[in-house]
Amino acid sequence: MDLWDRVRGREHPLLPPRRYRRFIGNGDFLKVGREITAYMRDELGMGPGHDVLDAGCGAGRIAVPLTDVLTEGSYLGFDIVPHAIDWCGRTITPRHPNFRFEHVDIHQEIYNPEGTLSSADFRFPAEDAAFDIAALIGLISHLRPAEMENYLAESARVLRPGGQCFATAYLVDDAVAANIVRGETAFSFTHDHGDYYVHSETEPTYAIAYRLEHILSVAARHGLRMRRDPSPGTWGVSTRRPASMDLLVLERA
């Protein structure tokens, strides 16, 4: 398929090969990335001079459209998948030197089973108060509670006062919890642990949903507060797929 793409000519010079896109999630790579970037611009006020950290950047799904936005600021993306980071470093950084990518060798059962670091105490490769926005796109759904808390704590550490943590997640309120019990959600989270739900006990990091109040309580411990009500996705109210995740914006005090 990559060869066929090359023969036809790619839609975008920074579109990564299909083999690097397959672990990122459903949907059109460029379309989804542009939609996320548009939300960051319109709802978070992101502008050309902002500094953005992208935790779990994958093969650059938001980095690619951000190259058209962050013309004066900077971008740092890190991920546990080495070939994705290698591709981004070889392809994006030479064209946009203000975009940097780092591989972090975090252990993850599905994507990096040989990793040596732990998500529960991993330190983001960034200085304190260095960024205006920290993006956790499609990441919280793969983090256990202690890991999720560490990533929120690290997001708070690297954000400047007034900076924003933008996350997508499976958020559960009472209505969604009732839908989960009835099997009326796009993804099944049948293992209820109180503050969070898992899709599979044998592979818990495959998909995790969190009670909204639990995430907000954890965020508050680290100086993050909800800036606005979450923008609900479709996963919790319908069995129809493809389904979107919820959008959460937290602000650094």
The predicted pLDDT at position 199 comes to 95
**Does pLDDT of 43 surpass 80?**
yes
Q: What are phi and psi of 79, to 5 degrees?
A: -155, 165
Q: What is the pLDDT of residues 55-106, one digit of tens each?
A: 999 999 999 999 999 999 999 999 999 999 999 999 999 999 999 999 999 9
Instruction: In whole angstroms, give the CA distance from residue 231 to residue 52.
Output: 21
Expressed as residue numbers, the domain containing 75 is 2-252
Which CATH number is 131's domain given? 3.40.50.150
Instruction: In whole angstroms, give the CA distance from residue 111 to residue 206.
Output: 10
Number of structural domains (the chain) is 1
**Does pLDDT of 130 surpass 90?**
yes
Closest CA to 57 of 103, 18, 14: 103
Instruction: In whole angstroms, give the CA distance from residue 74 to residue 96.
Output: 10
Tell me how far CA of residue 115 lies from CA of 106, 119, 122, in angstroms. Answer: 5, 10, 12
| pLDDT band (50, 70, 90) for residue 226 | very high
Q: Pairing mode, if any, of strands 74-79 and 51-55?
A: parallel
If you ran DSSP here, which 8-state letter would residue 3 be given? H
Indicate the Cα dihedral angle 189, 191, 196, 202, nearest 10°: -90
- On whether the CB atoms of residues 89 and 135 are closer than 8 A, the answer is no
